[in-house]
């Protein structure tokens, strides 16, 4: 958002930079987290400043016991209630929301220690010993605040990747209007505006090059490391860097519609959904606080009445139990790894739309490619024209081109292109009719013309003599289109779709992960086999009609396979939805509309393997996090409840509350830090 700083009245200074704001809400939104962090740092400092003298007075014989207790009461009370106010407020929220949280546990634990100590100080005859535990409350609060601060820092590092994406968006654009260039804030750019982009600058919004030529570095947005050549008519993506030449770009996506804005939105929204793997942890977290408080009460009462320990130790048992346990690590185990995993994906042009897709992608054991547009470029061209006797290449191309003129099929387009490349005329056609999955028939100049595959032409004379030629074409992976005029075969046109340069590597990379690769194609078995052999695919389903793709996927699923379907995100939407996880490839600029749980921005099938590897790594990181969070709680709660007493005596409770607080403080930090290691994931392996 651009705001003129000379007129702005709302401003905030953060770390030496002054920020200006458009509205009170914007300002609040910006400063609220900063203010919360500042308050946290201040609380931590105050807490530590009070805890140090409290510890010195507790453990060094500086004053007589009674005086010492009073001094400690004076020092610890503000720490407990002013610095520690946030825990009481959190407890109040928790009661109103009827949902336990860690504030309840800390407030209970520290209040118990403080209250016991205060009572002993004020009424010395109350307990057998005159020892107080103000230091326990002080150290717990300090450690928890330190833990919160560390958690804040690590969480900020985890969400940095998303913020960095947003920061790629340039703030200004140079608009060209009536021959005059003016600098305007990017928010004011409208669709259709022509923008001037100098070498070294970021392109402000998505658009089409209207003038000039250059190379553009798209790596920050698409993950494509090679700079891409751009000339007039080519699409450019906002926030990518213009490298070499001056470009004029006509804006066609602005604001929330740009590729970058859509990527940021997808990554953010991917964090919402609850991955199935997290549900158990969430359910446990819901009951965690009441259960832990019950354990703490039972353990301390049991030790007091059955174990015959002093009241002071009974209090410490309670404090240790409530403070050691933390549902936070459980709750953050999945979100932390998910955020790092999905951000890492976005950096490499792989958008995973949510935890559930990531989880399924990590379990995939079969990848289905819809051949056209994923393994091949999807732009077939005519390779062979074979006229029969009485015709020549131009005459059959003329007929074929005329018949296919208005068809949208890629094969038809290849023929029409060939016809116009040869500069051939287009003849008038009548009664044109498409025969689904076979071809087309029409009347041209009083002659009945059929154009299509064997099935359509089965009634024409001379077909059997062609088998050798047809086989020849098909064994090269070419589609043979046969033309007949008035029931006699007139010629064959061979059409081939070129394989993408990385198709072979892509298939190998997937197979290396132990995953089956299956190709779906509308071609017949011979063509399918030849292409499969060339790219190294061992299984194909040929003669698939567009509506048959879902069926093909269903039958693979019936074999017990977890299927990922790779296809075009718009035309293959039903098939992508049918698969366990749909992967839309090479989407261009309309990412948000794409079907499928995973969207690959680049037009590169190699990213399929990368997406699966990333999902697997993230999933295993989630499992590690959950394991540690569970293990931590299941091991430490019994210890807090007294499992160590038989070995070390009741004296362990003199230090256990401190260890408990330290463990609670670091538990979430460990989980987030463990997740951060996912940033080391390498895409190109």
Partner 1 sequence: MDERERPKESRAVFLVREISCSTCGLAIEKQVKKLDGVKDVGTAVMLNKVFVDFDPSRVSLEEIRKAVHRTGYGAYLTLKKR
Residues within the interface to partner 1 (CB under 8 A): 25, 28-29, 32-33, 36, 89-90, 92-94, 96-102, 148, 151-152, 155, 158-159, 162, 256, 268-269, 271-273, 278, 281-282, 285-286, 288-289, 327-328, 330-332, 335-336, 338-339, 353, 668
Which is closer to partner 1, CB of 159 or CB of 219? 159
Closest contact distance (angstroms) between CB of 103 and partner 1 is 9
Burial state string for 578-590 with b = 16 or more CB within 10 A and e = fewer than 16: bbbbbbbbbbebe
Pairing mode, strands 598-600 and 581-585: parallel
Which is closer to partner 1, CB of 36 or CB of 426? 36
Closest contact distance (angstroms) between CB of 471 and partner 1 is 45
Token pair of 164 as six digits: 């960095």
Which is closer to partner 1, CB of 231 or CB of 631? 631
193 labelled catalytic: no
Which is closer to partner 1, CB of 272 or CB of 436? 272
Which is closer to partner 1, CB of 105 or CB of 542? 105
The CA distance from 228 to 215, in Å, is: 5
Closest contact distance (angstroms) between CB of 683 and partner 1 is 22
Closest contact distance (angstroms) between CB of 88 and partner 1 is 12
Closest contact distance (angstroms) between CB of 592 and partner 1 is 9
Closest contact distance (angstroms) between CB of 368 and partner 1 is 22
> Environment class of residue 157 by beta-carbon count within 10 Å: exposed (0-12), middle (13-18) or buried (19+)?
middle
**Which one, of 270, 272, 281, lies nearest residue 333 by Cα?**
281
Tell me which of 103, 193, 370, 523 is the catalytic residue: 370
Q: What is the DSSP letter of 144?
A: H
Q: Residue 493, CB half-sphere, CA atoms under 13 Å: how many?
A: 32
Which is closer to partner 1, CB of 272 or CB of 306? 272
Which is closer to partner 1, CB of 87 or CB of 133? 87
Indicate the SS3 state at residue 582.
Answer: strand
Residues linked to residue 481 through DSSP beta bridges, in sequence order: 493
Q: What is the DSSP string of 400-413?
A: HHHHHTT--SHHHH
Determine contact, residues 519/541, Cβ cutoff 8 Å. yes
Q: What is the DSSP letter of 81?
A: I
**How far lies 423's CA from each of 72, 405, 443, 685, in Å?**
98, 14, 22, 47
Determine contact, residues 485/442, Cβ cutoff 8 Å. no
Determine contact, residues 218/228, Cβ cutoff 8 Å. yes
The CA distance from 576 to 549, in Å, is: 9
Determine contact, residues 431/445, Cβ cutoff 8 Å. no
Which is closer to partner 1, CB of 20 or CB of 288? 288
Burial state string for 344-357 with b = 16 or more CB within 10 A and e = fewer than 16: bbbbbbbbbbbbbb
Closest contact distance (angstroms) between CB of 354 and partner 1 is 8
Kindly state the helix (H) or strand (E) to which residue 431 belongs, with its residue range.
strand 429-435
Which is closer to partner 1, CB of 152 or CB of 363? 152
Token pair of 513 as six digits: 């992960």
The CA distance from 303 to 318, in Å, is: 10
Which is closer to partner 1, CB of 262 or CB of 479? 262
Kindly state the helix (H) or strand (E) to which residue 89 belongs, with its residue range.
helix 85-97
Radius of gyration of the chain (CA): 35
The CA distance from 582 to 671, in Å, is: 30
Which is closer to partner 1, CB of 615 or CB of 668? 668
Determine contact, residues 281/326, Cβ cutoff 8 Å. no
**Which one, of 438, 475, 433, lies nearest residue 454 by Cα?**
438
Closest contact distance (angstroms) between CB of 91 and partner 1 is 10
Closest contact distance (angstroms) between CB of 672 and partner 1 is 9
The CA distance from 71 to 53, in Å, is: 10
Count other Cβ atoms within 10 Å, centred on residue 412.
Answer: 23
Beta strands across the sheet bearing 563-567: 350-352, 598-600, 581-585, 563-567, 366-370, 516-520, 539-541
**Which one, of 501, 401, 414, lies nearest residue 449 by Cα?**
401
Closest contact distance (angstroms) between CB of 556 and partner 1 is 24
Closest contact distance (angstroms) between CB of 136 and partner 1 is 22
Q: Which residues belong to the active site?
A: 370
């Amino acid at each position: 958002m651009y705001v003129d700083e000379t007129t702005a009245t709302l401003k905030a200074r953060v770390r030496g930079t002054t920020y200006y704001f458009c509205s009170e809400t914007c300002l609040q939104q910006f400063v609220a987290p900063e203010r919360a962090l500042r308050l946290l740092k201040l609380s931590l400092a105050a807490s530590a400043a009070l805890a140090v003298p409290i510890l010195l007075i507790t453990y060094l014989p500086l004053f007589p016991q009674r005086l010492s207790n009073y001094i400690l009461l004076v020092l610890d009370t503000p720490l407990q209630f002013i610095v520690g106010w946030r825990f009481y407020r959190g407890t109040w929220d928790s009661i109103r929301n009827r949902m336990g949280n860690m504030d309840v546990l800390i407030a209970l634990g520290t209040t118990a220690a403080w209250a016991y100590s205060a009572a002993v100080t004020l009424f010395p005859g109350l307990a057998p010993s005159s020892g107080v535990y103000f230091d326990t409350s002080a150290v717990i609060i300090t450690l928890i605040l330190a833990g919160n601060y560390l958690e804040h820092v690590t969480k900020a590092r985890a969400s940095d990747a998303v913020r960095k994406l947003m920061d790629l968006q340039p703030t200004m654009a140079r608009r060209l209007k009536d021959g005059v260039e003016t600098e305007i804030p990017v928010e004011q750019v409208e669709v259709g505006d022509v923008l001037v982009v100098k070498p070294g600058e970021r392109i402000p919004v998505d658009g089409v090059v209207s003038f000039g030529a250059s190379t553009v570095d798209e790596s920050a947005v698409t993950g494509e490391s090679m700079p891409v050549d751009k000339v007039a008519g080519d699409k450019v993506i906002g926030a990518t860097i213009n490298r070499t030449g001056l470009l004029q770009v006509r804006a066609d996506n602005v604001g929330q519609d740009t590729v970058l804005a859509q990527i940021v939105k997808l990554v953010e929204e991917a964090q919402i959904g609850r991955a199935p793997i997290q549900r158990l942890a969430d359910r446990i977290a819901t009951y965690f606080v009441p259960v832990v408080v019950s354990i703490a009460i039972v353990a301390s009462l049991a030790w007091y009445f059955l174990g015959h320990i002093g009241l002071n130790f009974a209090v410490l048992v309670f404090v240790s139990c409530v403070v050691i346990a933390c549902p936070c690590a459980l709750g953050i185990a999945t979100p932390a790894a998910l955020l790092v995993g999905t951000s890492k994906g976005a950096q490499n042009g792989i958008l995973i739309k949510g935890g559930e897709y990531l989880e399924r992608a990590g379990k995939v054991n079969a990848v289905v490619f819809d051949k056209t547009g994923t393994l091949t470029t999807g732009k077939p061209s005519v390779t062979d024209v074979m006229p029969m006797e009485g015709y020549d290449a131009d005459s059959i191309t003329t007929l074929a081109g005329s018949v296919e003129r208005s068809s949208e099929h890629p094969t038809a387009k290849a023929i029409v292109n060939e016809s116009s490349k040869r500069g051939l005329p287009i003849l008038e056609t009548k009664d044109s009719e498409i025969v689904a999955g076979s071809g087309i028939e029409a009347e041209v100049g009083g002659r009945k013309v059929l154009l299509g595959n064997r099935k359509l032409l089965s009634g024409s004379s001379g077909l059997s003599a062609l088998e050798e030629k047809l086989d020849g074409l098909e064994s090269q992976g070419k589609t043979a289109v046969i033309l007949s005029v008035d029931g006699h075969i007139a010629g064959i046109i061979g059409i081939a779709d070129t394989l993408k340069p990385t198709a072979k590597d892509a298939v190998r990379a997937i197979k290396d992960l132990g995953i089956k690769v299956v190709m779906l194609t509308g071609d017949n078995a011979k063509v399918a086999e030849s292409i499969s052999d060339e790219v190294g695919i061992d299984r194909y389903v040929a003669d698939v009609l567009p509506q048959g793709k879902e069926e093909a996927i269903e039958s693979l699923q019936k074999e017990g396979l977890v299927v990922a379907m790779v296809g075009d995100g718009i035309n293959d939407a039903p098939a992508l939805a049918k698969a366990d996880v749909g992967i839309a490839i090479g989407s261009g600029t309309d990412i948000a509309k794409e079907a499928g749980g995973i969207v690959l921005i680049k037009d590169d099938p190699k990213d399929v393997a990368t997406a699966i590897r990333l999902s697997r790594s993230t999933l295993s990181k989630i499992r590690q996090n959950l394991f540690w969070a569970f293990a931590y709680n299941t091991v430490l709660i019994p210890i807090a409840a007294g499992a160590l007493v038989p070995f070390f005596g009741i004296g362990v409770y003199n230090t256990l509350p401190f260890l408990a607080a330290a463990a609670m403080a670091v538990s979430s930090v460990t989980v987030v830090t463990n997740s951060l290691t996912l940033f080391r994931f390498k895409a190109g392996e």
